[in-house]
Structure 1
Amino acid sequence: MIDFRYHLVSIIAVFLALTVGIVLGSTMLQDPVLNTLQAEADRLRDQAERLREEKDTAEQLNASANHVISSRADDMLHDRLADTRVVIVEAPGGAPELRNALATRLEQAGATVVGRLTLTGGYVDPQRADSVEELLDETVDAGDLPDGTTAKRAGAALARALVAAEDERDGGADTAAARESEALLEEFAEAGLLTVRGEPVRAADAVLVLAPAEPFAAATAPSPDAVSSPENTTLLELARALGAASEGMTLAGSPSSLETGGLVTQARTEGARFTTVDSAGGAAGNVVTVLALAASLAGHNGHYGIGGGADGFLPDPLPGPIASPSATSSPSAAPGGNG
């Protein structure tokens, strides 16, 4: 018969065995385990140090390249956009420093920035589609707009409001169309959909669209090939309309626009036929953005920068200076030439 003393002895034996195992493990196995962990820690520390050094070197090279580009920007951009009127269209969440830097480069290339349109979160909010549709019905002749979604119709209306018609680009003016366009921009501004700076009404030959500084939260998805967010869809409809209406259009963003849900990534994923740049923000990327817009004006659209889908870092061949009325006739002054 198994009595209490048997149980007590069994329990004591179990605890004794556990104690012996712990002691043996902490003495016999301690050194090998600690040595292995120490070696792994040393390896990771060395790897981190090498990566830090590589990062510092890359930053120094980038800073040097930007310095060189800045010092030669006048020559690189001279007359590439001579006598070209440009409107800057900013997506919600754009970076003011990027817009200001690009405006400076545009003027350096001979362009005139006639105005700026800054879209708000309300413009890309799918919940406001009905109110946007009502504003379009109130201000624009339905026959002037394409069939399709509200985003497509609004994009077409804004493109018509900003871009000069072909017969207006030599100084002519369509007074009725200008009044309608001005009314549209005023109504959209009063509704909190956008803000307007300058005098962009039917004034642009070319358009520079700036992507958000960071991808929309709603666009976050497992892969860059995921379905576009509603915000991106609305902005890309506008970009397509501006590209179709103008002589040249470029969508530019910083490298953040390449992240999952980024606007430039989405444009390239959808096979955009307009020009995109993913490296705006630094001196080199800003110069490339202006050159890309000049190439687009010359009829050469492409994708430029460092991300997937890019044709190269910059247009090849480079666009040449645009001949202005006062320019002397020379091979280098021919539109679209190398230079």
Structure 2
Amino acid sequence: MIDFRYHLVSIVAIFLALAVGIVLGTNLLQDPAIKTANEMTRQLTQTNEGLRGELDVMKGREQVHQEFITTLTPQLVQGGLAGEQVLLVEAPGASSTYRELTEQVLAEAGAKVTGRLLLLDKFFDPKSAGVLDGLVNQLKPAEMAFPTTATVHDKAATLLAATLMTADPALAGTPNEATSAVVDGLQTGGFIDVDFIDDNDEPLNRATLAVLYSPDAPYEGDNAESQAAALVSVAGGIDAGGKGAVMAGAAATSAAPGGAITALRDDSETAKRVSSVDNVDMPEGQVVIVYALREQATGGVGQYGTGAGATAFQPVTPSPAPSSTESGS
């Protein structure tokens, strides 16, 4: 009869054999495994150093490129927008850095910025659409009529454009009598805000052209599509009220899925009238904004930049500076 000690000895022998096998196997594989791992590490380190070197070269070239374009910008845009009045329109989340750069380039092109119109979050909130609609109907002139198919943002854009924009050179740079009432009403309602470039309390003067800055991130969430469509409506309305409008943003965000420029380019009717520039984050993009505004003032339109939907980097042939009597899109 096999007793307990026999079972115990057998179990110990089995585990001892396993331990010896593991030790022997590890010793046999240790040197080749370590050598292979060391070689892979060496190759990866070498590759990584090479890529880092290439990246540093590209960054250096990009910096020189940007400095070169920035230095030439005054010459590239000189007189391009002489005599034009430009309104800056900012959507919630738009980059103030890009807007400040544009202001400088617009001044170098001879344009005067009339002021900034800031569209607030409430303007795009579907829950506030009814209030905005009622306020627009209350503030609009009696003779102003909206198409039956107009959305609330179409109506708001039409009212703002009639108040702040003009295609008439004789009215450019002058205030509209209705400006204070419309702006004050929409401000009080929490839908817009304004920033006076000259730091005065006078009503914004009427502009002939406009630059709209898209959010610095794609729209997301359940209301993303309606918010993007609302900004496109504003662009279309502002464009119709003056000589033209350009929507500006960065390709990585605005011309990406959910981006405002993507929504504009996907709207075939609005894209026939409103231009876009999707590389506002690059010095050359600031130059192209001037060219696109100049093209708008002479009746042209285009989708420019490096992102999806861009038809060219810039207008094929930069238009000559428009005369004071020409109107645009």
| TM class, shorter-length | 0.7 to 0.9
Query: For the Cα contact (< 8 Å) 2:169–2:324, is it kept in 1?
Result: no
Q: Which runs of 5+ in 2 are unaligned?
A: 197-201
Partner of 2:146: 145
Once residues 294 and 127 of structure 1 are traced to their aligned partners in structure 2, the CA distance between those partners, rounded to angstroms, is 38
Change (3 A) 1:324 1:269: closer
Query: For the Cα contact (< 8 Å) 1:78–1:321, is it kept in 2?
Result: no
| TM-score of the pair, normalised by structure 1 | 0.80
Partner of 1:320: 320
Once residues 38 and 258 of structure 1 are traced to their aligned partners in structure 2, the CA distance between those partners, rounded to angstroms, is 44
Partner of 1:78: 78
The answer to whether structure 1 residue 161 and structure 2 residue 137 are counterparts is: no
Query: For the Cα contact (< 8 Å) 1:116–1:200, is it kept in 2?
Result: no
Query: Once structures 1 and 2 are overlaid, which stretch shifts more, 34-43 or 92-101?
Result: 34-43
Residue type at the aligned position of 1:233: A
Runs (4 or more) in structure 1 with deviation over 6 Å come to 172-175
Aligned-residue offset at 1:79: 1.6
Change (3 A) 1:201 1:37: same
Once residues 240 and 53 of structure 2 are traced to their aligned partners in structure 1, the CA distance between those partners, rounded to angstroms, is 47
Partner of 1:328: none
Q: Give percent identity, aligned residues only.
A: 32
Once residues 14 and 101 of structure 1 are traced to their aligned partners in structure 2, the CA distance between those partners, rounded to angstroms, is 78
The answer to whether structure 1 residue 229 and structure 2 residue 225 are counterparts is: yes
Query: For the Cα contact (< 8 Å) 1:252–1:289, is it kept in 2?
Result: yes
Once residues 146 and 174 of structure 2 are traced to their aligned partners in structure 1, the CA distance between those partners, rounded to angstroms, is 17
Query: For the Cα contact (< 8 Å) 2:163–2:182, is it kept in 1?
Result: yes
Aligned-residue offset at 1:268: 2.7
Residue type at the aligned position of 2:145: D
Once residues 288 and 133 of structure 1 are traced to their aligned partners in structure 2, the CA distance between those partners, rounded to angstroms, is 35
Once residues 119 and 294 of structure 1 are traced to their aligned partners in structure 2, the CA distance between those partners, rounded to angstroms, is 25
**Residue correspondence of structure 1 range 17-96 to structure 2 within 5 A:** 17-96=17-96
Change (3 A) 1:307 1:50: farther
Deviations 1:163-212, CA, capped at 9 Å, x for gaps: 12x4x43239999xx44443222111122222112367571211100112
Once residues 140 and 23 of structure 2 are traced to their aligned partners in structure 1, the CA distance between those partners, rounded to angstroms, is 86
**Residue correspondence of structure 1 range 1-339 to structure 2 within 5 A:** 4=4, 8=8, 11-12=11-12, 14-140=14-140, 143-146=144-147, 147-164=149-166, 166=167, 168-171=168-171, 178-198=176-196, 201=204, 203-218=206-221, 228-255=224-251, 256-271=253-268, 272-273=271-272, 274-323=274-323
Q: Which runs of 5+ in 1 are unaligned?
A: 220-226, 326-333
Change (3 A) 1:34 1:123: farther
Aligned-residue offset at 1:65: 2.1
Query: For the Cα contact (< 8 Å) 1:69–1:283, is it kept in 2?
Result: yes
Partner of 2:199: none
Q: Alignment partner of 1:218: what SS?
A: coil
| TM-score of the pair, normalised by structure 2 | 0.83
Change (3 A) 1:196 1:307: same
Aligned-residue offset at 1:135: 1.4
Aligned-residue offset at 1:15: 3.1
Query: For the Cα contact (< 8 Å) 1:320–1:335, is it kept in 2?
Result: no
Change (3 A) 1:28 1:209: same
Once residues 24 and 184 of structure 2 are traced to their aligned partners in structure 1, the CA distance between those partners, rounded to angstroms, is 82
Query: For the Cα contact (< 8 Å) 2:85–2:172, is it kept in 1?
Result: no
Once residues 179 and 159 of structure 1 are traced to their aligned partners in structure 2, the CA distance between those partners, rounded to angstroms, is 14
Once residues 233 and 37 of structure 1 are traced to their aligned partners in structure 2, the CA distance between those partners, rounded to angstroms, is 55
Once residues 20 and 155 of structure 1 are traced to their aligned partners in structure 2, the CA distance between those partners, rounded to angstroms, is 83
Query: For the Cα contact (< 8 Å) 1:81–1:321, is it kept in 2?
Result: yes
Once residues 238 and 156 of structure 1 are traced to their aligned partners in structure 2, the CA distance between those partners, rounded to angstroms, is 8
Aligned-residue offset at 1:122: 1.8
Query: For the Cα contact (< 8 Å) 2:248–2:289, is it kept in 1?
Result: yes
Query: For the Cα contact (< 8 Å) 1:228–1:266, is it kept in 2?
Result: no
Q: Alignment partner of 2:98: what SS?
A: helix
Once residues 72 and 251 of structure 1 are traced to their aligned partners in structure 2, the CA distance between those partners, rounded to angstroms, is 24
Change (3 A) 1:100 1:9: same
Once residues 67 and 172 of structure 1 are traced to their aligned partners in structure 2, the CA distance between those partners, rounded to angstroms, is 35
Once residues 60 and 101 of structure 2 are traced to their aligned partners in structure 1, the CA distance between those partners, rounded to angstroms, is 21
Once residues 63 and 138 of structure 1 are traced to their aligned partners in structure 2, the CA distance between those partners, rounded to angstroms, is 52
Deviations 1:241-297, CA, capped at 9 Å, x for gaps: 222332121111134423443322333344433211111133222112211221222
Residue type at the aligned position of 1:52: R
CA RMSD between the two structures: 3.2
Change (3 A) 1:185 1:275: same
Q: Alignment partner of 2:221: what SS?
A: helix
Query: Once structures 1 and 2 are overlaid, which stretch shifts more, 87-96 or 306-315?
Result: 306-315
